[in-house]
Structure 1
Amino acid sequence: MGNFFSKKDFIFEKKVRAMESNINKLETKILSSKNEHYNNNKKNIFYFFIIELLLATFLYEKFASSDSLSEKAMGLYYSLFTTIMIYLLIKLDRLFFGIYIKNNENKLIKLYSGLEKLFEERKLETDFEKTKNLLEAYEVFKKKIDNRPSNLVDIKDNINREVHRSDYNEKIPVSIVEEHHIGPRLLCKL
């Protein structure tokens, strides 16, 4: 009989650890997706301006070299069409990344609620000592989650406070970290 209860506790702990690892993986995935989305937007804007500069040069040459109005109109049409297509591609990229990030955030919310339900069910069981220890461990995990930054602006503020260097247990000002490109990069929310 005792073996049955110990297996049951082990299964519960295994479920909790699996859910915590899934939550951590999903949070990392969301943050990396936001970083990639931000970097893609910067690249897209840069390339958009380069292409627009080339199109403006092409259009100027077309107007200067052609004598007929129809050739000038076709050059303007192609330039305008290319600009609209590039703009639509950038918007589609932003839309797809936004949907992807929202889906992952919804999955994360479901995992949090599943973890809450799992612990609520565990509270109803009679093994008080084991449940108390597990709930204390969960409270520590929950405090860690509650203290984590909720968006990229909070991450930037937390990084600006101080960066700890674990090798020598000394605090390094952020200006030194930024000068030598040590540690995380500062991010800002779109």
Structure 2
Amino acid sequence: MELQHEFTVPVPVDDAWRALLDIERIAPCLPGASVTDYDGKTVTGSVRVKVGPVTLTYQGTAVFEERDDQEHRMVLLASGRETRGQGTARATVTGTLTAHEDGTAVTVRTDLSVTGRPAQFGRGLLSDVGGRLVSQFADCLAERLTEPEQEQEQEPEPPAPIDLTRTAALPVARRIGPPLAAAALVILAWRWKRAARRRR
């Protein structure tokens, strides 16, 4: 499935580009992710995902297939496998940065393939969940880019797992909310008419 998200950060494009390539610096902003090694091209680490009461851990790598410093464009190939299961996740992530007013616009296109429990959410919900996670990442990144560097040197806290069930709750509510409201109005109207007939 293909997902596309956009966000902006309040720094010049060259600064944003350098920050996005500084994996150790931005790793704490990646929901559920933990980086164990980075050699300048390949990132090794894990991602923890919570689905209901079950927490899944994916071990894997992400490799920079392309990196254009002039065009501010990167292509990242990521793959992972559950440590205690058969589920897999593969993604080709293309990121493009462009100057935008007083900051930088970031466009992220993801070609994602997931097997196992997270696949039960389907394309629509995964897109909504992805949007919310990207929004969290963007907010965190903007904060880190504008805070003093000495504050970033503090020992990072262990990353909390991505709670897909909880994160998906709001998109689900948005989708089923209007139909439920309409149904409730119909039921109330029916009950009102029935009560009115009895009073006669």
Question: Which category describes the TM-score, using the shorter chain as reference length?
Answer: under 0.3
Greater RCO between the two (CA within 8 Å, min separation 6)?
Answer: 2
TM-score (norm 1): 0.24
> Considering only CA atoms, is the larger Rg found in Structure 1 or Structure 2?
1
